């Protein structure tokens, strides 16, 4: 009888543990970088559709190197297009002190979702 109660109590805990392990590889590793992305980039690039998968891991590093000068250039080019009025906010962020502080974690997050990332997180 005691074993039956023990089994009833432990079985749900075991099921939760197994489910968490099977989903573990899909959980975003760089949660702080994800928050930076959501605050600064998701307004235009959405939650993922136009996000990290726009470049490879190496390309993201190059885009964020040299004070993000290449990324700023790309946003300035988009800024001239009236369909993208929010590019000014992106440029201000990239030129500001917040980006300087957040760059390392943002890069890790973007590389996690890069087009050549071996283990891109998903919702499932």
Q: Are 40 and 90 in contact (CB under 8 A)?
A: yes
The residue segments making up the domain with residue 86 are 29-112
Residues 28, 120 contacting (CB under 8 angstroms): no
20 part of a folded domain: no
Q: Are 41 and 86 in contact (CB under 8 A)?
A: no
Residue 60 within a domain: yes
Rounded CA separation 7/77 (Å): 63
Is residue 80 one of the residues assigned to a domain? yes
Is 57 part of any domain?
A: yes
Please report, in tens digits, the pLDDT of each residue of the chain (124 residues total): 566 655 566 556 555 544 444 445 557 888 999 999 999 988 888 765 567 788 999 999 999 999 999 999 988 887 777 677 778 888 999 999 999 999 999 999 999 989 898 877 655 4
Please report whether residue 17 resides in a domain. Answer: no
How far apart are alpha carbons 109 and 57 in whole angstroms?
10
Domain-located, residue 11: no
Task: Kindly state whether residue 78 falls inside one of the protein's structural domains.
Answer: yes
Domains identified in the chain, total number: 1
């Amino acid at each position: 009888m005691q074993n039956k109660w023990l089994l009833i109590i432990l079985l749900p805990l075991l099921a939760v543990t197994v489910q968490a392990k099977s989903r573990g590889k899909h959980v975003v590793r760089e949660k702080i970088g994800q928050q930076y992305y959501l605050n600064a980039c998701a307004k235009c690039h959405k939650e993922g559709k136009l996000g990290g998968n726009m470049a490879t891991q190496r390309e993201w590093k190059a885009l964020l190197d040299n004070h993000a000068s290449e990324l700023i250039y790309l946003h300035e080019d988009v800024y001239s297009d009236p369909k993208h009025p929010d590019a000014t906010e992106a440029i201000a962020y990239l030129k500001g002190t917040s980006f300087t502080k957040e760059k390392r974690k943002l890069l890790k997050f973007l590389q996690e979702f890069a087009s050549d990332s071996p283990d891109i997180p998903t919702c499932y």
